[in-house]
Chain A
C-alpha cells in the first residue's frame, strides 16, 4: 500500500510526434498491475490512448501529441475496495495505493497523487497531463492533479472529462451540485461573479458572451432560459444539436449561468466536447506551422490564422504580394497563438 509495494520499471513512448519540449505530452501510469500483468497494462493504455486520440478535437491535433506509458508493477492486482461502501473488502498492496470509496463514495477511485506526479516527472519531465489506469473492472475514477479511471466500460470517459478540467481549464457545465433530484435548495441562482473558465458565463447578452464569435446571428440569445429556477431545466433543446448559443443552467446553478451548447462532455459523459470547449483545447495544445512560402498573402494569412497562429507581415503589402520567407519554418511545432513572420515580395511567384 506504498511505493514499497511495487517498482517503476521505465517508460515507453507509444506515440512519438516530436520533441517533448515542444509537443503536448500525455503520460499513462498503471496501478494494481502485477509484473505478470504488464502486457495487459500495455494493451489497456493503447486502448485508452486510442479513445482519446479519436475524440474531437484531439483527433485533429494528433501531430502534436506524444503519449508515454510508464510501466509500474505492484505486488498485488487490483485496488482496495472497502466494505464501508458496499465493496468486496479487498485490500491490495499497490504502488500508488489505489482505493475505491474515497470520502465514503464507492465510485470515487483515487491514488496517491503526489507519488503519481513524482513518478511522471521523473520519467517524463515535460509531461502535460497524467492519467492513472487502475487494474479493476469495478467502475470508478476521479480528477484533480491526476486523472484516475478503472477498466470498467465507459470509465475512459471519466479520464477525458477530467483532462478537460486539469489540462485545459474547463468548467463543469452541469446545472446542479449534488444532482437535480437531490433536494438541494442552494443552487437556484449562480452568484454574481464571472467564472474564469472559458465555457461558462453569467452574461446573458450576445455582446457579453465569451464565445459570441461562434454564435450565428440567427440564433437567439439567451437560447434557452430556465422558467423555474427552483429546478433543473429538463426540457429538450429548442435548436438543433451543435448550435452554439447561451443555455441557462451551468456551473452548479439552475439559473444565472450559461453554457455554450445544450450538450457537452463537461455536462454529461458520452457527449462530444462543445465547440467552445474544443476551441479552448486547441488553444492550449501546440500547433504546427503551415507551409505558406510562395503563397499569395491572403491565402497565407488564412492558413496561419486557421492553425491558431498570428500572422506578422513584413515588406510590401500590395496586390500581388507573396510570401518569400517564413519563420518558424513549415511543420515546426509551436505554442498556439505564436506569431508567424512572413516576409513579402511583390510580383510573380518564381
Chain B
C-alpha cells in the first residue's frame, strides 16, 4: 500500500466561506440584528418548496437578476408558542401559545460569488405576516449581501 496523501487527486474544494445572520422578530416584524462572514463548509442547498411540495419558511440567496443560488429550509424560525416539558421521562411534552411572539433566529448561508441579497420567505398559513397561499410566498425580510460583512445593527 502506497502513501495515501501522495496519490490523492486535486479536485476543486467546496466553498468554505459563509455568512451568519441573526434576526429578531416581534409579531410579523423581522429585522436584522447582525451579520458576520466566517469560514465554514455548509451542507448542500435544499430543494425548492414547489419541488418538495411543502408549506413552510425558507431562505434564498439570489444574484442581482433574482436567480436563486442557494436555498435553506427553516423549521418554524418564529414560533408563536412554547414547548413545555414534563419532569418525568415518558410523560407528555406539550405546547402553549405565547401572548406576544418575539425572539431571535440565526441563519448560516454560503458566501457565494455573485450573491446580491438574501430573502426569507414563507408560504406557511400559520406564519405571522404571510398572505394567502394562492398569491405565492411572502418575503418576510430581505438583506443586501453586497455590502459589509461585519456585524451591523
A121 and B36 in contact, given A165-B75, A174-B92, A330-B4 (Cβ under 8 angstroms): yes
Answer whether residue B52 sits at the interface, using C-beta atoms and an 8 A cutoff: yes
A326 and B125 in contact, given A114-B22, A268-B93 (Cβ under 8 angstroms): no
Contact between A145 and B9, CB atoms less than 8 A apart: no
Interface of B is mostly: loop
Bound state CA distance, A141 and B41, in angstroms?
30
Which one of B94-102, B111-119, B136-144 contacts A?
A: B94-102
Answer whether residue A54 sits at the interface, using C-beta atoms and an 8 A cutoff: no
Which one of A3-11, A74-82, A105-113, A216-224 contacts B?
A: A105-113
List of 9 A-B pairs having minimum Cβ-Cβ separation, nearest first: A270-B89, A327-B9, A196-B56, A196-B54, A329-B8, A327-B11, A21-B39, A169-B75, A325-B9
B20, B24, B73, B105: the one contacting A121 at CB < 8 Å is B20
Q: Provide the residues of chain B in CB contact with A157, threshold 8 Å.
A: 85, 89
Q: What are the interface flags for B23-65 relative to A under an 8 Å C-beta threshold, 1 for contact and 0 otherwise?
A: 0100000000110101111111000010011111000000000
Smallest Cβ-Cβ distance to B39: which chain A residue: A21
Answer whether residue B5 sits at the interface, using C-beta atoms and an 8 A cutoff: yes
Contact between B87 and A152, CB atoms less than 8 A apart: yes
Contact between A117 and B22, CB atoms less than 8 A apart: yes
Interface centre among B16, B22, B33, B79 (most CB of A within 10 A): B22
Interface of A is mostly: loop
A335 and B44 in contact, given A145-B105, A341-B11 (Cβ under 8 angstroms): yes
Answer whether residue B86 sits at the interface, using C-beta atoms and an 8 A cutoff: yes
Min CB–CB distance A261 → chain B (angstroms): 15
Contact between B84 and A105, CB atoms less than 8 A apart: yes
Min CB–CB distance B88 → chain A (angstroms): 8
Interface centre among A21, A271, A334 (most CB of B within 10 A): A21
Which one of A86-94, A178-186, A242-250 contacts B?
A: A178-186
Q: What are the interface flags for A88-127 relative to B under an 8 Å C-beta threshold, 1 for contact and 0 otherwise?
A: 0000000000000011010110000110011001000110
A161 and B43 in contact, given A105-B82, A330-B4 (Cβ under 8 angstroms): no
Bound state CA distance, A23 and B78, in angstroms?
27
Bound state CA distance, A31 and B40, in angstroms?
28
